Structure 1
Amino acid sequence: MRSPIPLTRIIMLANVVVVATAVVVLLVLPTAPSSSGRPMAGKVTGSPPPSSSSPSPTPALPSAELPPPVTASPEFARQVEANEAGMVPILMYHRIMKKRLASIDRTPAQVRKEMEKLARDGYVPITAREFVTGKIDIPAGKHPVVLTFDDGHHSHFALGADGMPVKDTAVGIIYQVAKKYPDFRPVATFWVNRQPFGLQNPQDQARAVRWLTARGFEVANHTWSHPYLPGLPKQKIAEQIVRIERLLDKLGGPASETLALPFGAMPRKRSTVQAGKWGGSSFAFKGVFLAGAEPSVSPFVKGFDRRSIQRIQSNGKKGECRRWCSQYWLEWLDKHPRQRYTADGDPERISIPRGLRGNIRSDRRRQINAY
């Protein structure tokens, strides 16, 4: 399967643009919210649920439970036009603000509009962890999308006095869309730094992490202080990663299986962010994610590199985004449905058109269901 544009040179250029923009924005603009701008004034209310990796039922909130699997025959795969060697959009969000201060910011209305379009177009959210491990157990004929949020900003998650997600936070918007479109599974990945969701109190941080992970969301590693990793020695990089792992463990969250690179910047020696140790603690990731600039290939194909996974900035089509951001790519996938990942509903099989048999990784060939 070929990408619509020459990958090597253009992806490198696009990543440089994304990294440069992010560096300027995140170094110049304040990240700490004012007391008048926060929905929660730094506090998560409600009783914390028990720490669990499986979704916990909550009245009035849609469930993140995966649908019952089916058994996909070649004929069934043909009927739903399955292509599990296709491209998957992994969308990257930062701050959600009523008044945008930077190009990478999005308003609640913009996020809601984009997610409703995803739902109407047959996309079903999965987490970054599910994507990289190949657990794409969505209904037949649907398309996976990975919703990712960087930096653990307070606009991503807060609970109101009623114990429910605040309306215009990322989690609040996701649940609103899931209520309106029942097939839109309410999950996402939040990559956090040293103050998850802007919370300073450890008890509030623990409530937030446990609330999310108990309902199917992923909370994972984005380093301790969001440094530019290529400028750090190996042990400093390991320290940045381990300190977040220790924090998440203390807060009752699971060990991270995915990492989002700050600014999308990969150290020269990629192995330093894949696995390592510091201060007697170790880490190992199943997937490391960049900051742009096109859909990822399927985790089942030969070209998939879990060490540097592409994402797409959520944005319109102006300026540098005219061929790099979410509006462009979602429109492109709509116009090229054969290039898009379409599920067969069967977690045990990888359904593809017969001509794509050679694209599947050798360790997955026994699962091929070709038609």
Structure 2
Amino acid sequence: ASAVGVIPPLLVQRIFDDALFPIDGTPPDLRLLTVLVSVMIALFLLSAGLNVAQTWFTATVGNRVTGDLRTRLFDHLQAMELGFFTRTKTGVIQSRLQNDVGGVSGVLTNTVTSILGNAVTVIASLVAMILIDWRLTLIAVALMPFLIFVQRRVGQVRARIAGETQESLSELSAITQETLSVSGILLSKSFNRQRTESARFDAENDNQVHLQVRRAMSGQGFFAVVQVIMSSVPAVIYLVAGFLIAGGTGAITAGTIVAFTTVQARLLMPLMGLMRVALDVQTSSALFARIFEYLDLRPAIVDAPDALPVSAAPGPLGRIEFRDVEFRYPDAPAHARPTLDGVSFSVEPGQHVAFVGPSGAGKTTILYLTPRMYEASAG
């Protein structure tokens, strides 16, 4: 689709120089003009159809990749030990699963096609410009190295702001989950902390607004400069072409000037698109780092190398036995007694067992340490 879009400007040169205003001074060639215009319209239709197909394909693949990433992260977090969830706020986990994965969705959906399509357009446009007039091409691309250098610096700033923005979103999610849950509301009302919690949320919300504005504005000055430079190139081309024609240094026809400026105008959007994609990739690197920080976590409790798989048959299976089990939570004081000390019991398949004791005796801890031999929905 990108390659097809570069062909019409070349046809424009043929329309001007061969069909409308033949160099030999003959009347316009209406037959050739009809053929060239028909070809241009056909190319426009083909390009539009390809763009529709591309949108469907990229949306399907990109969103499936995003959905797969979200599912893998959810499954991985379910395998983490209980201590991870006692150390990590629920809102922070939810933010990683929703905000961070959602933040990279656009990059996964559009990056590949945007890079490929815009790169083809830029390369094809540059080739077409060289074929039309290499001298004008040198003038049009003179500032490209400087723009690329500035773009990299802007991308580094945006990546840092993106990381801070996601951290703030995590904190907002954590405050919301803690304060607006049933237990949070009861605690807030019992100790009359509504204003305090509102002030804490308002402060973080203001920080989020500030970061979002910074993120939106970062790079806007750079793209404004790029747009001004690229939009001014046709005017400079007209000036240079005038000097070349006046100096007699080369034959530049009206068709050459129109075709060149048409191709150069097509170079603006894909070039800015490539720069925006580069910035988006640099920005999303902060989000990917947060996602893979969780995917790279290794559960503290894993199956033994010789562990046997539990049968998928419904109903309780196997015999559970504790033999002189001792357990201490990682954050417990070193001088404190273990939560479980010398606990021994056995439970036969199908047997119901009740644990009785005062608060803090370790009843819940025993349940945490007891493996589930069947899914609740199976029987």
TM range (shorter): under 0.3
Higher strand share: 1
TM-score by length of 2: 0.17
TM-score by length of 1: 0.17
